[in-house]
């Protein structure tokens, strides 16, 4: 079953700006799906339409088979939304926010308190449950919105840049939390600017650019399209400049080399060649995130194909 089935969605804002130009997209139940795209590409509009915060101009949306036009309330009850901007009452305490939110979904107050305690503890917010939420840190506010979205135990969780402005330690603990949720069967759709995040978490990926869906494929297939990868090698200072007929080698400074290796070549060959030239490699790392390279290739260089 599709968790989300978008068919030919269009959105024209007042003033004539066409934010979405007929997007069709399906996300399988249980998937961890990344929706990427540059700023203003239409990601948040797409999420807004799915969660019924934005009125679509045309097209059909169904959530777990419930049509947004004819079965709105059933469709809404399947979704938990974590928006990009903080959108809770800054004067209310986290516990109050969560319990009320559960109430809007018909969860009885007694059960709502039990769930609120569970999620506040899981997301490390229990100690802050009675403080005005405006006093929480940025990371805590993001986690509060995740807890709020889970209060009615949705089958689909949509996160619009959930880790924006969150430090790396906190980001990693949020990733772990989301992976656990996904393993429990919750379908997750994520938009993010941290492509490392998408590569690490998501199985499938869609890329939106200028209101069009320019990619919709599995992460593996997309990454397999990379022809080459660039590695940075830390070396002992060589006696002479290393060279190779098979690899493109650039010496960045006395102790650093940049080596481009294509898909058909192996790193063993690189090491063998450098060893033959008496160059000792101390460590190695990727120059950039692989998905980032593809993303830039697809979007910025205009090497895209409309579907």
List contacts with another protein (CB under 8 A).
13, 48, 51-55, 72-74, 76-77, 79, 81, 83, 85-92, 96-97, 99-109, 148, 152
Q: How far is the CB of 76 from another protein (least distance, A)?
A: 4
Q: How far is the CB of 53 from another protein (least distance, A)?
A: 6
Instruction: Rank residues 77 and 182 by Cβ distance to another protein and give the closer one.
Output: 77
Q: Where are the alpha helices (DSSP H) in the chain?
A: 43-50, 72-76, 94-104, 109-122, 138-150, 168-183, 195-201, 219-224, 267-276, 290-295
Q: And the tokens for 69?
A: 């036009």
Instruction: Rank residues 158 and 195 by Cβ distance to another protein and give the closer one.
Output: 158
Instruction: Rank residues 6 and 294 by Cβ distance to another protein and give the closer one.
Output: 6
Q: How far is the CB of 154 from another protein (least distance, A)?
A: 10
| Residue 106: strand, helix, or coil | coil
Pairing between β-strand 79-82 and β-strand 156-160 as defined by DSSP bridges: parallel
Instruction: Rank residues 117 and 196 by Cβ distance to another protein and give the closer one.
Output: 117
Phi/psi at 136 (5° precision): -80, 155
Q: How far is the CB of 125 from another protein (least distance, A)?
A: 17
Pairing between β-strand 58-63 and β-strand 66-67 as defined by DSSP bridges: antiparallel
Looking up tokens 């030239």 gives 277
Q: How far is the CB of 47 from another protein (least distance, A)?
A: 11
**How many helices (H) and strands (E) are present in the chain, helices listed first?**
10, 14
Instruction: Rank residues 24 and 100 by Cβ distance to another protein and give the closer one.
Output: 100
């Amino acid at each position: 079953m599709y968790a989300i089935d978008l068919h030919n969605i269009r959105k024209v804002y007042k003033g004539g700006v066409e934010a979405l130009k007929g997007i069709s997209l399906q996300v399988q139940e249980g998937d961890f799906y990344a929706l990427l795209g540059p700023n203003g590409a239409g990601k948040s509009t797409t999420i807004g339409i799915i969660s019924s915060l934005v009125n679509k101009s045309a097209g059909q949306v169904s959530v777990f088979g419930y049509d947004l036009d004819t079965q709105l309330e059933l469709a809404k009850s399947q979704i938990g939304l974590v928006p990009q901007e903080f959108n809770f009452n800054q004067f209310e305490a986290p516990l109050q926010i969560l319990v009320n939110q559960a109430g809007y979904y018909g969860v009885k107050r007694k059960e709502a308190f039990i769930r609120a305690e569970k999620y506040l503890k899981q997301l490390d917010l229990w100690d802050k449950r009675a403080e005005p939420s405006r006093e929480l840190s940025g990371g805590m506010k993001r986690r509060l919105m995740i807890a709020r979205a889970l209060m009615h135990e949705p089958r689909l969780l949509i996160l619009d840049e959930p880790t924006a402005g969150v430090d790396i330690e906190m980001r990693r603990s949020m990733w772990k939390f989301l992976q656990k949720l996904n393993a429990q069967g919750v379908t997750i759709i994520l938009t993010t600017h941290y492509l490392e995040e998408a590569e690490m978490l998501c199985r499938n990926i869609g890329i939106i650019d200028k209101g069009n869906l320019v990619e919709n494929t599995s992460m593996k297939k997309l990454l397999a399209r990379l022809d080459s990868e660039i590695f940075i090698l830390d070396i002992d200072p060589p006696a002479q400049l290393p060279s190779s007929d098979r690899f493109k080698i650039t010496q960045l400074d006395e102790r650093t080399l940049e080596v481009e290796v294509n898909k058909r070549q192996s790193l063993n060959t690189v090491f063998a060649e450098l060893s033959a030239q008496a160059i000792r490699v101390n460590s190695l790392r990727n120059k950039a995130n692989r998905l980032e390279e593809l993303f830039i290739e697809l979007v910025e260089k205009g090497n895209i194909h409309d579907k």
